[in-house]
Amino acid sequence: MVTSISRSPSETEVVGETWGREARAGQVIALCGDLGAGKTQLVKGLARGLGITARVTSPTFALVNTYTRGRLVLFHLDLYRLDTREQIIAAGLEEYLHPKGVAVIEWAERWFLEKPQTPSSSSAAGEVVTPWLRWVDIDVISNSERRIRYEDFGA
């Protein structure tokens, strides 16, 4: 697992921007962290790394925001308003597990139920399978510091 410390929202965006430059079609990024941890800041940077210039906002009420004007299409999902895996499936979001671009899922632990334990991209408890999953935990250390830990599973 790779760990970095961000000391500001702009540093969190830089992490995302680096990931955006390296992103490949079919990648799913599962973001886990409390409210205010910096999940959306990371997505803003990711979009910039993909060459997307549109204003990135959290899709809390829309569930999915799609950004098409970049190197790859970015699908930004926010599961905060969905309480169970059944609600997520009923919302028809399964197609984003195999995106034609990059899918970023805020509050991913609600869908995957737990972090995968092996370098296959499935969650044993949830039987969710993606071709390439990056599991990200963002922990609040202080008002200005965040610990960003991630691990890749699959391709």
The predicted pLDDT at position 105 comes to 96
Name the residue ranges covered by the structural domains of the chain.
Answer: 8-154
| Distances in whole angstroms, Cα of residue 65 to Cα of each of 45, 98, 141, 147, 150 | 15, 16, 29, 26, 23
pLDDT tens-digit series, residues 110-153: 888 666 655 444 444 444 556 789 999 999 999 999 999 999 98
- pLDDT digits over 20-29, tens only? 999 999 999 9
CATH for 8-154 (3.30.43.10, 3.40.190.80, 3.40.50.300, 3.40.50.720)? 3.40.50.300
Report the distance separating Cα 28 and Cα 96, nearest Å.
Answer: 8
Confidence of residue 11 (pLDDT cuts 50, 70, 90): very high
- Distance spanning both ends of the chain, measured CA to CA: 16
Q: Is 63 left (phi over 0), alpha (psi -120 to 50) or beta?
A: left
Please state, in angstroms and rounded to a whole number, the distance separating the CA atoms of residues 54 and 47: 8
Is pTM, for the whole model, over 0.85? yes
Q: Measure CA 4 to chain center.
A: 16
